[in-house]
Every structure is written in structure tokens, then in C-alpha cells.
Amino acid sequence: MEKGKIVAIITGAISIFIALAYLILVQILDFRGEMVPAPISLLPMLSLLNLR
């Protein structure tokens, strides 16, 4: 029974560590500011026009 308790404590600690790492990562990504979409390039449209 003692081995089961040790495994439970270790897996619980790993779970808490992963949860904290996830929260920190989300905060860092959120701190960067508003997400702006990438600019749309005109190159694909120009290549289509040149094919005709």
C-alpha cells in the first residue's frame, strides 16, 4: 500500500507542475497583446492574372 501512495503523490506533483506551466504559458502568450491577422499578399493573385 505504501508504494501506491508514493506513486499517487508523484503523479499529483507532476499534474500540478503541468497545470502551472500551462497557466504561465497562457499568461505569457496573452501578455503579448491583441492578435493581428497576417497581411494578405497580392502575389498569388498576380500569378493568376499572368496565367491568362
pLDDT per position as a tens digit, 1-52: 799 999 999 999 999 999 999 999 999 988 887 877 877 776 666 666 665 5
Helix ranges (H only) for 1-52 are 2-31, 43-51
pLDDT score at 37: 80
pLDDT score at 40: 79
pLDDT score at 12: 98
Cα–Cα separations (whole angstroms), residue 4 to 20, 23, 39: 24, 29, 55
pLDDT score at 43: 65
pLDDT score at 31: 85
Distance CA 4, CA 6 (A): 5
